[in-house]
Structure 1
């Protein structure tokens, strides 16, 4: 395929510049199959989930780490599904509502950077989450999604993903890296784990080599407040 692309650049000079840009971008951004798959299983009103989303996941998009990371957010957490497919959330109806809103955002903006930005805004202050929606260009699309039957389908899909985890999740936030669980209670090293797990052909992200990153590894490890799956429900 590469030789074919080179021939096209020779045969069609007008495409030469575009070909160079494609080649450069190919080297800077990992292919989808090469990316490290980072999944976050969470629920919207879990304090530890909020901290992880707002203060830790942002490192992916505030740096070049996103070029090698395939982030998937799964808003279901420790909810339960009854025999008649009714979903009960650990922190009550408001959590179910916000989980559904965030599920609609993920559907509306398939690009992880876009839906993460919205979800981070929501989780930064869930009492004022509507301001995040008003600032969105896709307010109507998200509202239309939320007011339809689609959220139930989306949440049941996330329920299936969460309830079929192997090993089963014990608490949220629950983080997996290439399907293997990480210790989300000690979130500081998840960047290091992504750097270590990346085996693709693209250049290693600058963050993985930076002095700031090295210093962060030497800092005191913080502990997140987690919500256990067997805790009492509100």
Structure 2
């Protein structure tokens, strides 16, 4: 018979799996917005490029009115049978993933949440001073529930690990993007905008970025670079 401790752990991870699997399937039927999930790891250069240079359009334009972006910081990292996380780009990546998981939990405003994550991905070596502008109040707001300095941060990462590893089909690379739960395979930024515009089934007017003229003008724009798990860097 399983011990009380083992049973408690089993229930916890089952709840995490249920919660995070559900979060990947938030679709237009439950919200007018298109659900855009971004699976990434923090020190992946291709993930950083997408988050910093391309995802910004979904927050700084009318696309924000039809899109709900959810971040999942785990990506190509690995989870052992004893629940140990090994990060593709070393221990520092594990730390940043956990810190960003705490931001996702404690900062409800999606634009502010993205601004923190974007800044960290842009200034990975000196983000504490660059992203909080030396403000202890801002930093404390993110960790006010002792998320990062407690076991909660690790539990959040384990939840994201279970969410990522339970995806079907399994991600081949990062950033791995899903639109209303469906993988986005194109690797073209212009196609991502078109896919989101097509997926929107709400009653509000479509953003100007979704017009046929605007989409035609985007054709041939930058290709989304991706990183495969077998390209891991050893530290």
TM-score range with shorter-chain normalisation? 0.7 to 0.9
Are the equivalent residues in 1 in contact too, given 2:36–2:180 (CA < 8 A)? yes
After TM superposition, give the deviation of residue 221 of structure 1 in Å: 4.1
CA distance in 1, matches of 2:94, 2:124: 13
Secondary structure of 1:204 counterpart:
coil
Paired residues for 1:7-26 under 5 Å:
none
Unaligned ranges ≥5, structure 1 = 1-29
- Aligned residue number for residue 225 of structure 1: 225
Report the secondary structure of 2:38's partner residue: strand
Deviation at 1:133, TM superposition (A): 4.3
Q: Which moved more, 1:221-230 or 1:50-59?
A: 221-230
* 1:41 pairs with 2:43: no
Which residue number corresponds to residue 120 of structure 2?
122
Structure with the largest fraction of helix: 1
Number of residue pairs matched by the alignment: 203
* Pairs within 5 Å for 1:1-234: 33-135=31-133, 137-143=137-143, 144-183=146-185, 185-209=187-211, 211-217=213-219, 220-234=220-234
Structure 1 stretches of 4+ moved >4 Å: 210-213
CA distance in 1, matches of 2:82, 2:51: 31
Deviation at 1:76, TM superposition (A): 0.4
Conserved 8 A contact 2:99-2:148: yes
**Which entry has the higher C-alpha Rg, 1 or 2?**
1
Helix, strand or coil at the partner of 2:72: strand
Question: Residue 230 of structure 1: CA displacement?
Answer: 3.2
**Stretch deviating more after TM superposition (199-208 or 180-189):** 180-189
Q: Distance in 1 between matches of 2:215 and 2:122?
A: 24
TM-score (norm 1): 0.80
Given that 2:39 and 2:175 are in contact with CA atoms closer than 8 Å, whether structure 1 keeps it comes out as yes
Unaligned runs of at least 5 residues, structure 2? 1-27
Greater shift, 195-204 or 184-193, is seen at 184-193
Q: Is this contact kept in 2: 1:173–1:184, CA < 8 A?
A: no
